[in-house]
Structure 1
Amino acid sequence: MRHGDGGVRTADGRGSYLGRVREVRTRPDRILVCSGYTQALDLLCRMLRSRGADAVAMEDPCAPRYRRVVEAAGLRVVAVPCDDDGLLVDVLHGLDVAAVVTTPAHQYPLGVTLAPARRTRLVDWARRTGAFVVEDDYDGEFRYDRQPVGAMQALDPDHVVYVGTASKILSPALRLGWLALPGSLVEPLGEAKSLTDRGSGVLDQLVLADLIDRGSLDRHLRYLRQSYRRRRDLLVAGLTERGGPLPTGIAAGLHAVIPLGRGGTELDLLARARSRGIALNGLGDYWHEPGKVSAQALVVGYGAPTGSAYIPTLGRFLDLLYGTGR
């Protein structure tokens, strides 16, 4: 089955969930199930390459592993800068790219959202050029200061490929993702996936469908939003107490970008963190040309520590940042 071996029921469930929670406009026969975002991006890039594409645009900064996925599929990556309003859409004009990969609800890692006017211009660019917009909605359900911004896919389902996964809403161990496809990509991507695997896990799909049908997924999401919002609030409160810079970007997601003030340089702090067993990333790791941008900041995830471990871990991080720990 094109939407996965779990059958029509699972596709119907995902379609109704995506429409209700993320405002995605799709049909069951346009949903392709995959094993996560990496496979989704790989399938898209290999399909584009088979059609003669040479390059794909990606946000700068972005997660470096996904640049490698694009390059492994035989495509060049063209970096497009971002600012406080998200992707600089006007930079796309004149670029010869088959698609642009973007995180409009919550840019990763900067944490900003793509401004409404830029969303419109991005869709207009895709229509005019025949390129596709790949919308990576990796944590769009998690907004803490207001209702989440709806998926950009609703502006033009024929030019925007929507990609979501279960990794943030359930578990990274659940290798389950989905693409809401333009009609023109249903056959080629379904065929491409059939050549690489025998289908995504049926049991996982049926469990997810049952969670959706029973309303359990909605209740779980409400719990997660409250939990992650509290974690973010504790992080902000701790930074405020120390008189340090506050996170940039919107109140959303499972990570925060913290500019470095008097806490030291990015490389120095990362070295000290490693020596104390604290896993951190510097913003410098995410630029297409590391070292070219002078911004000094830390990318701090607050979703991973268990409930009982979070406050002690936060204390160790703040001690590290402000030089009060040993």
Structure 2
Amino acid sequence: MTSSGTNRGGPPNSLPTIQAPWPAAWELLLPAAAAPARARGRTLQTALREAVRSGRLAPGTRLPSSRDLAGDLGVSRGLVTEAYEQLTAEGYLRSDRGAGTWVGEAVRAVGPRARDRAPRRAGVLADFVAGTPDLSLFPRSAWSAAHRGVLAELPHQALGYPDPRGLPRLRTALAELLVRRRGVVADPERVIVVSGVAQAMTLLGFVLHARGTPGVGVENPGSPEHGSLFASAGIGAVALPLDGEGLAMAELRASGVRAVVTTPAHQFPTGIAYSARRRAELLDWARSVDGLLIEDDYDGEFRYDRAPVGALQGLDPEHVAYTGSVSKSLAPGLRLGWLLVPASHVEEVVERKRTMDLGNPVLDQALLARFVERGDYDRQLRRCRRAYRERRDVLVAALEEHFPGARVSGIAAGLHVVAALPGRYGPQDRFLARAAAAGVTVRPTAHYGETAVDGVRLVLGYAHLPPARIRDGVRLMADAVRDQGARREPSAP
């Protein structure tokens, strides 16, 4: 490309003039020359903006004259002049009559995001971080058919502003589903469609804050998200310990809280199911303080050794708010979930939902309703349960093979296990470093709030990994431990 040289003095009160790095920057402008005539000007402006934002054209860089740039790109001079004038008006460029055009100093280049900057390391084979389902199991064909059906049958007036509670059709379908599968007491008028469990927690947080509730109890160890969601609503989180049956009742009573989050069907991350006695004690506590139990049924459908235990909410719907979503059964990106609240909370929660987002998208709600009504959701649950049960079995077998003496705790359920490795594989920090060096990502129970313990205790998510990768990931961890041990003790047999 033709260079216009440098202006040694530069524009008045400007940064030092820099010779334009045209061989590199020119590539960014090539799409403008190849774009259709009607889009050429817009494409050139976009390309110039990106060159400035990315730092390819640094502040103080002098640009070619409009005549030179037009000649090199094979476009009209007027198109380049218009682009220069537009970007000068926006602050990207500076121009002085008769002195040339420069990149302005108002722009600060935005560097690439860390994940763009750092290439993936060769050899990263397995990510055992818990919480993600297998997105390849998403039922694309059935979902697409449901989408076509909804578009064909949905009346025009249904596309107006929705009821903030949710589409009546979906609330009815969800109520029937949850009664049948989770044993809840579900009046459609108390079902509120939400954008996942995160929004359900936030809505409840706002309502509790408005009622003067100072703090909400959360399980420890537990999901780190619960505390941050309530904090966003202005409520503090009170960490409450667990015992072998669930939340420790003595600490709960002593805490002074009147609302607490629980995961009774499959506690996260320990994997225990609350005992029948502890469920009854929690309900007694809630009645005695006129409190609220918030039941997060995040993966209650996935039990592999027996039928899932019914929801706590079914025992006392006036003291339990129940929430769940399709994030584990379909995909978290759908942002669809449900919240069932006691009668005393309905209107306040609905009003908060209305002011927060005016309700969930109508098409998405109608689509899920049809999916549930036609039995597609039940089929999807069966498909996922088969796949996840197989992967759990593969993970347990791989741990037994490669880490003799490893102990897997918790019920056979959900999308993760807790594995305690014998002390010889510790200390834990060194084990985690070796696993990372071997290309395996894994989190310890301490990440979720568990008090530090001797040995190595890991939370291993498996649902998103195919069986072969699960085996290879466990083998890689074991090989890393053996290799490090061999280098540390070369004389060992």
Q: Please classify the TM superposition score into its range, dividing by the shorter chain length.
A: over 0.9
Q: Deviations over 1:227-270 (max 9, x none)?
A: 10000011111122232313101000000101121322322222
Give the aligned partner of residue 281 of structure 1: 443
Deviation at 1:295, TM superposition (A): 6.7
Contact 1:99 1:133 in 2 (8 A): yes
**Count of residues in correspondence between the two structures:** 319
Deviation at 1:110, TM superposition (A): 0.1
Secondary structure at 1:173's aligned position in 2? helix
Unaligned runs of 5+ in 1: none
Give the aligned partner of residue 314 of structure 1: 471
State the AA in 1 paired with 2:355: L
Secondary structure at 1:318's aligned position in 2? helix
Give the aligned partner of residue 351 of structure 2: 191
Contact 2:321 2:341 in 1 (8 A): yes
Give the aligned partner of residue 10 of structure 2: none
State the AA in 1 paired with 2:330: L
State the AA in 2 paired with 1:185: H
Contact 1:284 1:296 in 2 (8 A): no
Give the aligned partner of residue 3 of structure 1: 165
Secondary structure at 1:80's aligned position in 2? strand
State the AA in 2 paired with 1:229: R
Judge which range, 141-150 or 258-267, deviates more.
258-267
Cα distance change of structure 1 residues 258 and 196 upon mapping to structure 2, 3 Å threshold? same
Cα distance change of structure 1 residues 121 and 215 upon mapping to structure 2, 3 Å threshold? same
> How large is the RMSD of aligned CA atoms in angstroms?
1.8
- Residue 78 in structure 1 maps to residue 274 in structure 2: no
Give the aligned partner of residue 155 of structure 2: none
Distance 1:197 1:210 in 2: 23
* Structure 1 residue ranges (4+ consecutive) displaced by more than 6 angstroms after TM superposition: none
- Aligned to 1:106, which of 254, 257, 266? 266
Percent identity of the aligned residues?
43
Give the aligned partner of residue 241 of structure 1: 401
Unaligned runs of 5+ in 2: 1-162, 485-493
Distance 2:456 2:246 in 1: 19
- Aligned to 2:412, which of 212, 227, 251? 251
Distance 1:74 1:293 in 2: 33
Q: Deviations over 1:147-206 (max 9, x none)?
A: 000000001000100000110011111101110111111100000111111211222222
Distance 2:410 2:366 in 1: 36
Deviation at 1:317, TM superposition (A): 2.5
Q: Which protein has the larger Cα radius of gyration, Structure 1 or Structure 2?
A: 2
Relative contact order higher in (CA < 8 Å, ≥ 6 apart): 1
- Residue 168 in structure 1 maps to residue 328 in structure 2: yes
Cα distance change of structure 1 residues 137 and 224 upon mapping to structure 2, 3 Å threshold? same
Contact 2:175 2:188 in 1 (8 A): yes
Q: TM-score, normalised by structure 1?
A: 0.93
Cα distance change of structure 1 residues 99 and 13 upon mapping to structure 2, 3 Å threshold? same
- Aligned to 2:173, which of 2, 10, 13? 13
Contact 2:175 2:187 in 1 (8 A): yes
Cα distance change of structure 1 residues 318 and 96 upon mapping to structure 2, 3 Å threshold? same
Distance 2:230 2:453 in 1: 23
Cα distance change of structure 1 residues 293 and 202 upon mapping to structure 2, 3 Å threshold? farther
Contact 1:134 1:162 in 2 (8 A): yes
Distance 2:455 2:231 in 1: 26
Secondary structure at 2:417's aligned position in 1? strand
Judge which range, 94-103 or 7-16, deviates more.
94-103
Contact 1:35 1:175 in 2 (8 A): yes
